[in-house]
A and B are shown apart, each in its own frame.
Chain A
Amino acid sequence: MSARVHALVERTYRHESRRVLATLIRRLGDFDLAEEALHDAFMAAVDQWPREGIPDNPRAWLVTAGRFKAIDRLRRRARFDTSLEKLAERLDEAPPGRGDPADVDAVEDDRLRLIFTCCHPALTASARVALTLREVCGLTTEQIAHAFLTRPATVAQRIVRAKAKIRDAGIPYQVPEASELSERLESVLSVIYLVFNEGYTASVGDRMTCGELAEESIRLGRLLLDLLPDPEVMGLLALMLLHEARRVSRTSVAGEPVLLADQDRCLWDRAMIDEGQTLIERAFATGEVGPYTLQAAIVAEHAGAASAEQTDWSRIVGLYDVLLQASPSPIVELNRAVAVAMRDGPEAGLALVDALLASGELADYRLAHAARADLCHRLGDDERARIAYRQALHLSEQLPERAFLERRLAELGDITVPETTTPHPEEEGGASRS
């Protein structure tokens, strides 16, 4: 009996703890107090459910228990700080009303409130990511630190500072009004995509993929789509699914990156690709096509092609043209240049890449030099290719990518390095947005 109840409490924790937390933050008006209350509520459940039976609505029970526990805590602290007594009284008197945790709409609104608050633009990007993974996804600070190759103390400090800013600067716990929604949604989408990209290509260190972060960001994308079916949410989820579908084929057994043209397309996850394509169609059908949807559409072109040669490069260049209008960025121009090289030949692509490098914006971007190297090589100019590969190698900090660049250099007869390889803006949307 008790083992069964314990299992149920554990399962409830897994499925409901983030919802209960989201509602408690609204009811209590404070992140830390809500977290303590969440902890207390589950302790109470472990204690009481085996004796008193499982409540009909465990979530509502937990919210109510958490709220009472928080009021108790405030009353105890009020002995030392009298200002807390008033707060405890106010919380005690707050009517349940629409905040009733049995009210499904209210609970879903709370989850959205939590997402928008954690992704508020008045917080730094790194704080938004840490706070979202901690509060919305329920990851521990150790897990977040591990995924981002940083120390748990650093992550913990970011979260503490972010919560302090939310409290002290008066960042409200609410879903933005319609007039602000699209701008604020951009910030939420960029946090999710940042998490995904960190999982997709770690920019430093010796690992190429970090599957857990990618899975977590896709889960977040699905949650957001459930809560807010905006076309760009569809676009972002599609983009992540389409990239993720190729995970296995993206690295060799030795851990080095494999270029799109050389990937084994049989390894691609067709179910994920189909789901991504369906989402893109849904997004296009709304008539509001944004940058994420356009990037997803570009990746979908690749995913749908039988080989690099059979890819519709004209359509891809066209999609890049629209993307550049919606969201101008030198990296998008670089990717477009690579697509132009595939459509019109390396000379046309090289002219565009050289113009971009001359403008100075991408001078320190390793993939721009790698793209230039590849185009020079295709034009038979291996001397210039070697110089560009060396430049890319000089700028690369990622071990598998360095190995790839070194192998490329050795293949071109470069004697300054023993082994060879080169990354390359993949001939597609690329996982980096800007």
Chain B
Amino acid sequence: MKYLCLVYSDEELLHSLPESPRDEECLAYAESVQSSGRLIAGEALAPVQTATTVRVRTGKTTVTDGPFAETKEQLAGFYMVEARDLNEALNIAAGIPAARVGSIEVRPVRELDVPARPAAAGDPR
């Protein structure tokens, strides 16, 4: 079985509580799961202000600022894509068939802020 572990938090608190994780700790944990051979992909996301939502209705694509807001909607899947810029990412998002009935929230992946060190092959970010 494959599982997706989704990280939810109040953005205001994610980095400010005494028990809030530091990026080094996040990276270390990702590496430990990686070395156990069980990590398929894991990334931190940029803050919610960078979010853009794409919907396709009656063949027309609408793009709006912000995350999806319909509380009736539940997470149904994900695509992690490599795109030149937001426009290309939005185009790919608009092509996702579920965009016709739901919403696709597009958010950049965030680089963890850890001290630079020599990169090794297969190093998870």
Asked whether, in the complex, the Cβ of A169 is within 8 Å of the Cβ of B87, the reply is no
* A102 CB within 8 Å of chain B: no
* A326 CB within 8 Å of chain B: no
Task: Give the nearest-CB partner of A164 in chain B.
Answer: B49
Identify which of B52, B87, B107 contacts A176 (C-beta below 8 A).
B87
Asked whether, in the complex, the Cβ of B90 is within 8 Å of the Cβ of A122, the reply is yes
* B84-106 near A? 1/0 per residue, CB < 8 Å: 11110111000000000000000
- Identify which of B52, B87, B90, B107 gathers the most chain A CB atoms within 10 Å of its CB: B87
* A168 CB within 8 Å of chain B: yes
Task: Give the nearest-CB partner of B90 in chain A.
Answer: A122
Task: Give the nearest-CB partner of A177 in chain B.
Answer: B87
Asked whether, in the complex, the Cβ of B108 is within 8 Å of the Cβ of A170, the reply is yes
* B63 CB within 8 Å of chain A: yes
Whole-angstrom distance between the alpha carbons of A176 and B61 in the complex? 15
Task: Give the nearest-CB partner of B107 in chain A.
Answer: A169
Task: Give the nearest-CB partner of B64 in chain A.
Answer: A121
Whole-angstrom distance between the alpha carbons of A123 and B64 in the complex? 7
* B35 CB within 8 Å of chain A: no
- Identify which of B46, B65, B66 gathers the most chain A CB atoms within 10 Å of its CB: B65
* A180 CB within 8 Å of chain B: yes
* B32 CB within 8 Å of chain A: no
Q: Which A residues are CB-close (under 8 A) to B47?
A: 168
Q: Which B residues are CB-close (under 8 A) to A183?
A: 61
Identify which of A169, A176, A180 contacts B50 (C-beta below 8 A).
A169
Whole-angstrom distance between the alpha carbons of A326 and B90 in the complex? 25
Task: Give the nearest-CB partner of B52 in chain A.
Answer: A122
Asked whether, in the complex, the Cβ of A172 is within 8 Å of the Cβ of B49, the reply is no
Using known A-B contacts A121-B64, A122-B63, A183-B61, determine if residue A168 contacts B49 with beta carbons closer than 8 Å.
yes
Give residues 132-187 of A contacting B (CB, 8 Å): 161, 164-165, 168-172, 174, 176, 180, 183
Asked whether, in the complex, the Cβ of A171 is within 8 Å of the Cβ of B86, the reply is yes
* A127 CB within 8 Å of chain B: yes
Asked whether, in the complex, the Cβ of B87 is within 8 Å of the Cβ of A165, the reply is no
* A329 CB within 8 Å of chain B: no
Identify which of B49, B62, B86, B91 contacts A170 (C-beta below 8 A).
B86
* B74-87 near A? 1/0 per residue, CB < 8 Å: 00000000011111
Whole-angstrom distance between the alpha carbons of A310 and B29 in the complex? 79
Identify which of A161, A170, A180 contacts B85 (C-beta below 8 A).
A170
Asked whether, in the complex, the Cβ of B49 is within 8 Å of the Cβ of A180, the reply is no
Q: Which B residues are CB-close (under 8 A) to A124?
A: 65-66
Whole-angstrom distance between the alpha carbons of A121 and B91 in the complex? 13
Q: Which A residues are CB-close (under 8 A) to B64?
A: 121-122
Asked whether, in the complex, the Cβ of A168 is within 8 Å of the Cβ of B46, the reply is yes
Q: How far is the CB of A82 from chain B (nearest CB, A)?
A: 10
Beyond the given pairs A127-B65, A170-B108, A180-B87, 15 more chain A to chain B contacts, judged by CB atoms under 8 angstroms and listed by A's residue number, are: A121-B62, A121-B63, A121-B64, A122-B86, A123-B65, A124-B66, A164-B49, A168-B46, A168-B108, A169-B50, A169-B51, A170-B83, A170-B86, A174-B87, A176-B87
- Interface set of B (CB-CB < 8 Å, partner A): 46-47, 49-52, 61-66, 83-87, 89-91, 107-108
Closest 10 CB pairs of A and B: A172-B85, A121-B63, A122-B52, A169-B50, A124-B65, A170-B86, A168-B50, A170-B85, A171-B86, A169-B86
Of the A-B pairs whose beta carbons lie under 8 Å apart in the complex, a sample of 21, sorted by A's number, is A122-B52, A122-B63, A122-B64, A122-B86, A123-B65, A124-B66, A127-B65, A164-B49, A168-B46, A168-B108, A169-B46, A169-B50, A169-B86, A170-B89, A171-B85, A171-B86, A172-B86, A172-B87, A180-B87, A180-B91, A183-B61
